[in-house]
């Protein structure tokens, strides 16, 4: 009798897991980030202002959205998870869309380009966040 | 009073005679309670005995009468003529399957996929009849019941663009059926079925278009079965890395 052999796509399963987690993260956290950086920051609604202990009635306005990450590990993590998750989800989904429109035969090439963009994007993002977190500035 | 007429355009294709399919138009006396299958039966009985199509139960149970009706995969026995504007209807064979003749498509690929996922209860060791039935609670039944309503009509395959691009894709109905057994508390065949559904051309080809669930005439949600099977695959893959001995 012929033995059945099946090759479980383990790596693809893991990448899909990250993709779906990325989608959930994007759905929950991206609106929060957009609110903070595109609405709260320009309109001065969210603590980009600090209290001056010497003068409790004075507020020092610090107009710099990098305050979100500077010196705050949780802030840096929040930005990293939100952007990296959304990036991964977006590129993976884009590849699916290309497959749907019939570019299946270019899949290997598309996958290579997709993962290249994801990983370069994530490395650049990590570099900027670490620089911000440690120095408060980017050199 | 003059008799109302419906116009039925049907794909004709006789591979031994025709180089490619063409449309033939028939005028059929219309009644309000008529379905597309009635119109086809009228054509065959009264106008053109050579028209070829599949049907059996005429009540949405056997799953044999699927066709593309005005471009959408539907059961001809469950599609009333009065649902279509001007009573002019185009009936074509289901997309993505090779045509044998007129509306009859080759089901071979689908049949192979159905058998591949082993649509029966697998037990590690069969119990003796005297030991009684394999019992199941209603909660356990709820976990898979909708997926057992499939009538193998293949409309979901005709609606799936990914199957149209890659016929190796296991596809909606076969995955829904595999998931039906994976979720059945009496079944012990996960180790056998997981490698089949978790191949790259098992569930991973699916890009979540979702048309399979839209066209299903029995309310089965193959897209849900595929998504849940993917979650099982991703969980197992991560477990096998974190717990190489314990995880699968
Ligand atoms: S899942 Fe629905 S559409 Fe697909 S074969 Fe079964 S009954 Fe037909
Ligand atoms: S004839 Fe049986 S489902 Fe239509």
Torsion-angle region of B219 (φ positive above 0: left; ψ -120 to 50: alpha; else: beta):
left
Out of B36, B58, B67, give the residue to mutate to test ligand 2, the one with the largest number of ligand atoms within 8 Å of its CB. B58
Q: Tell me which of B35, B65, B218 to substitute to probe ligand 2's pocket, judged by most ligand atoms within 8 Å of the beta carbon.
A: B65
Give the residue from chain A lying closest to B248, CA to CA.
Answer: A10
Of B72, B105, B138, which residue constitutes the final position of a domain?
A: B105
Taking only the tens place, the pLDDT of each residue in B211-242 is 999 999 999 999 999 999 999 999 999 998 88
Q: How high is the pLDDT of residue B233?
A: 96
* Residue A53: predicted pLDDT: 55
Q: Is the CB of B62 under 6 A from ligand 2?
A: yes
Q: Do B120 and B229 share a domain, yes or no? A: yes
Q: Does residue B12 lie within any of the structural domains?
A: yes
Q: What pLDDT was estimated at residue A139?
A: 45
Structural domain boundaries, residue A59: 12-135
Q: Do B141 and B185 reside in the same domain of the chain?
A: yes
**Nearest listed ligand to the Cα of residue B171:** 1
Global pTM value = 0.86
Residue B222 Cα: closest atom of ligand 1: 1
Residues of B in contact with A111 (CB under 8 A): none
Determine, for residues A96 and B198 on separate chains, whether the beta-carbon distance falls below 8 Å.
Answer: no
> Which positions in chain A touch B194 (Cβ < 8 Å)?
8
**Higher-confidence residue: B151 or A94?**
B151
Q: Which range has the worst mean pLDDT, A41-50, B36-45, B96-105?
A: A41-50
Helices vs. strands in chain B: H and E counts, helices first: 9, 7
**How far does B24 lie from chain A, in Å, by closest CA?**
31
Judge whether B247 lies within some domain: no
The pLDDT value given to residue A5: 82
- The residue-averaged pLDDT of B71-100 equals 94
User: What is the Cα–Cα distance from B144 to B194, expressed in whole angstroms?
Assistant: 16
Kindly indicate the confidence band of residue A52, based on its pLDDT and cuts at 50, 70 and 90: low
Q: A106: distance to nearest CA of chain B, Å?
A: 13
Cβ–Cβ pairs < 8 A, chains A and B: 60
Has residue B211 been placed in a domain? yes
Query: Could you tell me the CATH number of the domain that includes residue B36?
Result: 3.10.20.30
Range of the domain at B35: 5-105
Q: How far is the CA of B173 from the centre of ligand 2 (A)?
A: 17
Domain boundary among B70, B105, B140: B105
Residues B40 and B148 placed together within one structural domain of the fold: no
Would the pLDDT of B36 be above 90? yes
The residue whose CB lies within 8 Å of the most ligand 1 atoms, and thus the one to mutate among B60, B216, B219, is: B216
Q: Can you tell me which residue has the tokens 């054509």?
A: B43
Would the CB atoms of A100 and B166 count as touching at under 8 Å?
no
Q: What is the pLDDT of residues A89-135, one digit of tens each?
A: 888 888 888 878 877 677 778 778 888 888 898 898 888 888 877 77
Q: What percent of chain B has pLDDT over 90?
A: 86
Answer whether residue A71 shows pLDDT above 90: no
Residue B48 is predicted with a pLDDT of 97
Check if B64 has its Cβ closer than 6 Å to any atom of ligand 2: yes
Count CB-CB contacts under 10 A for residue B149. Answer: 13
- B115 and B200 within one domain: yes
Residue B66 sits in the same domain as residue B47: yes
Per-residue pLDDT at A48 exceeds 90: no
Q: Are both B95 and B19 inside the same structural domain? A: yes
CA atoms within 13 A on the CB side of A87: 19
Starting from the edge strand earliest in sequence, which strands make up the sheet with B5-12, in order?
B22-29, B5-12, B88-92, B66-69, B72-75
What average pLDDT is seen over chain B?
A: 94
Q: What is the mean pLDDT of residues A50-77?
A: 62
Q: Within 10 Å of residue B50's Cβ, how many Cβ atoms?
A: 11
In a domain? residue B248 = no
Count up the domains in chain B and report the number: 2
Task: Estimate the share of chain B in helix, then strand, then coil, as percent rounded to the nearest 5.
Answer: 40, 15, 45
Is A19 within a domain? yes
Residue A108: which CATH number? 1.20.1300.10
- Output the pLDDT for position B73: 98
Atom of ligand 2 nearest to the CA of B62: 2
B216, B142: one domain: yes
Q: How confident is the model at residue B247 (pLDDT cuts 50, 70, 90)?
A: very low
Cα-to-centroid distance, B78 and ligand 2 (Å):
8
Main-chain dihedrals φ then ψ at residue B205, nearest 5 degrees:
-70, -25
- B42 and B157 part of one domain: no
CB contact under 8 A, A14 and B237: yes
pLDDT at B241: 87
Structural domain count of chain A:
1
Ligand 1 neighbours by CB, cut-off 6 Å: B 150-156, 172-173, 176, 215-216, 218, 220, 222
């Amino acid at each position: 009798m012929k033995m059945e052999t099946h090759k479980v796509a383990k790596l693809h399963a893991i990448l899909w897991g990250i993709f779906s987690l990325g989608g959930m993260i994007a759905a929950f956290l991206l609106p929060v980030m957009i609110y903070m950086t595109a609405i709260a920051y320009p309109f001065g609604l969210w603590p980009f202002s600090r209290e001056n202990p010497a003068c409790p009635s004075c507020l020092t306005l610090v107009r710099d959205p990098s305050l979100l990450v500077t010196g705050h590990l949780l802030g840096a993590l929040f930005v990293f998870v939100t952007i990296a998750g959304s990036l991964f989800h977006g590129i993976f989904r884009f590849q699916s869309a290309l497959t749907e429109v019939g570019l299946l035969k270019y899949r290997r090439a598309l996958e290579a380009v997709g993962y290249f963009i994801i990983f370069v994007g994530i490395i650049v993002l990590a570099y900027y966040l670490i620089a911000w977190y440690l120095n408060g500035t980017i050199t | 009073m003059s008799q109302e007429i419906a116009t039925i355009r049907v794909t004709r294709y006789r591979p031994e005679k025709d180089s490619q399919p063409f449309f033939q138009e028939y005028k059929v006396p219309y009644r309000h309670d008529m379905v597309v299958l009635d119109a086809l039966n009228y054509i065959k009985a009264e106008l053109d005995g050579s028209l070829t199509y599949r049907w059996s139960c005429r009540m949405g149970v056997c799953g044999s009468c699927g066709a593309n009706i005005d471009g959408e995969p539907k059961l001809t026995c469950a599609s009333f003529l009065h649902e279509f504007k001007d009573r002019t209807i185009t009936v074509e064979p289901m997309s993505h399957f090779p045509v044998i003749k007129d509306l009859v498509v080759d089901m071979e690929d689908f049949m192979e996929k159905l058998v591949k996922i082993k649509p029966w209860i697998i037990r590690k060791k069969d119990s003796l009849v005297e030991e009684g039935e394999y019992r199941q609670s209603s909660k356990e039944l709820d976990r898979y019941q909708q997926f057992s309503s499939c009538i193998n009509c293949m409309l979901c395959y005709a609606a799936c663009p990914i199957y149209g691009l890659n016929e190796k894709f296991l596809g909606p109905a076969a995955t829904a059926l595999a998931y039906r057994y994976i979720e059945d508390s009496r079944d012990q065949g996960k180790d056998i079925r997981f490698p089949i559904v978790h191949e790259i051309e098992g569930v991973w080809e699916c890009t979540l278009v979702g048309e399979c669930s839209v066209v299903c005439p029995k309310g089965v949600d193959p897209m849900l079965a595929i998504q849940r099977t993917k979650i099982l695959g991703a969980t197992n893959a991560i477990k096998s890395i974190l717990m190489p001995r314990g995880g699968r």
